[in-house]
Amino acid sequence: MIRPRIPRGRRGLLSAGGALVAVAVVVAVLVSAMDGTGRPAARQSAAYPDGLPHTRVTMSAGDCGQGWTDGHGGDQVFDVHNASSGPAEVDLVDPGTGAVYGEVEGLAPGTTRPLQVTLGGGSYAFKCLPDDADAVTGPTVRIAGHAAAGPAAVPVSQHDLIPPTIAYQQWIGGQMGQLADRVGALKDAVDSGDLDAARAAWLPAHLVYERMGAAYGTFGDADKAINGTTAGLPRGSSDPRFTGFHRIEYGLWHGQSAEQLRLPADQLGKDVDQLRSGWSQARMDPAQLGLRAHEILENTVQFELTGRTDYGSGSNLATARANLDGTRTALGYLRPLLTAARLPQLPRVDAALDRMQRTLDGFETDGHWTALNALSRTQRERVDADAGAAVEQLAAVAAVCDVRRTS
């Protein structure tokens, strides 16, 4: 099916386990307090509903981080003001490693937005990245002590993402042969009029495709042709634009004859062959691989675990399990980048995926899967909870792998 593309800009996503960076939450513009000399000063928590100390910092043309000179550890808020004439991104970084502790994206001229962070002992500086201008790094502020700071991540560059993306694209190419073989077996069963064999061949073929989820964006229109649903089609299952796996699924489990299914099966084979033959010329966007690793299971929750893609086979849980395999594959190629300096909570990500896998595997016996609508309420709640937890943990991967501008 066509997966809706979630906009980028997931850098500020926070998970329950602590994600990449603190998020700049949009709240009312705060007015700075001034000390006796007329300079911006750290403001006391009593004046703010969040109960945290606030410090106003300003960026202007050629300057960054004005107003912050004396650092203190702990939870706090910086009210970041853009006094320049253009929009900018403002990051709080470790000037030695470049690790990002927090950021405000798309800060418009004349506006102020809060940035909440937890600071420990160490060195910090604001880096301002105006649109269409070079980055400017403000003065370094040092905080004494050994308390741990909040989460931070060394930025990932486009160059960093090229090798894993090429390797993943090659893996997808290797799956194309298996996909074509499984679709060929499905087509042969339909052509021979053996619909029991066709039903048995449908799911293995479909699951091969479902494991290739991080490449859907590169498949383009082929994804809709191969795995589209009736969504948006005025004639529903009777619409001639309803093609691919789900069109055949509908026919196999709704009493259609082999004669009625020969044309859809033949078209699926042609669409898969066309995708396979053109794949060597395709180019995946390296900046999207981390996002897709998260998005695969997001779409699983939205479409598979709601039954919206079930056209009679009752195989949504099998598809969810294949989507989990697809997530692990994409994550595996990204793993060399997900060091402790970037994603210290990677073990929590793995644990959440393991838990989801154990739950899903409990609904499969000798290749037969429990239908989604046959789950008890308790079973359904467990599936939803485990999938939701995995999606939440994977948000950190998308955030870490979102390419950041550093200069």
Contacts of 161 (CB under 8 A, 6+ apart): 286, 287, 289, 290, 337, 401, 403
Q: How far apart are CA 165 and CA 276, in angstroms?
A: 18
Instruction: Give per-residue pLDDT as tens, 212-262.
Output: 999 999 999 999 999 999 999 999 999 999 999 999 999 999 999 999 999
Instruction: Give per-residue pLDDT as tens, 249-301.
Output: 999 999 999 999 999 999 999 999 999 999 999 999 999 999 999 999 999 99
The backbone torsions φ and ψ at residue 366, rounded to the nearest 5 degrees and listed phi first, read: 50, 45
One fold for both 45-143 and 158-400? no
Token pair 């798309």: residue: 106
Instruction: Give per-residue pLDDT as tens, 86-111.
Output: 999 999 999 998 999 999 999 999 99
Q: List the beta strands (DSSP E) in 43-144.
A: 54-60, 63-66, 74-82, 88-93, 100-107, 112-119, 122-130, 136-137, 141-143
One CATH from 1.20.1420.20, 3.40.630.10, 3.40.1590.10, 3.50.50.60 for 158-400: 1.20.1420.20
pLDDT cut 90: percent of the chain above it: 79
Beta bridge partners of 88: 107, 130
- Domain map (residue ranges) of the chain: 45-143, 158-400
Contact indicator for 22, 118 with CB cutoff of 8 Å: yes
Residue type, 335: R
Lowest mean per-residue pLDDT among 30-44, 123-137, 145-159: 30-44
Q: List the beta strands (DSSP E) in 217-362.
A: none
First to last CA, the chain: 39
DSSP 130-170: ETTS--EE---EEE-S-PPP---BPPPPHHHHHHHHHHHHH
pLDDT for res 50: 87
Considering the entire predicted model, what is its pTM? 0.81
How far CA 301 is from CA of 297, 310, 329, 374, in Å, comes to 6, 13, 18, 17
Burial-class residue 96 by CB neighbours within 10 Å (0-12, 13-18, 19+). Answer: exposed
User: Span 45-143: which CATH code?
Assistant: 2.60.40.420
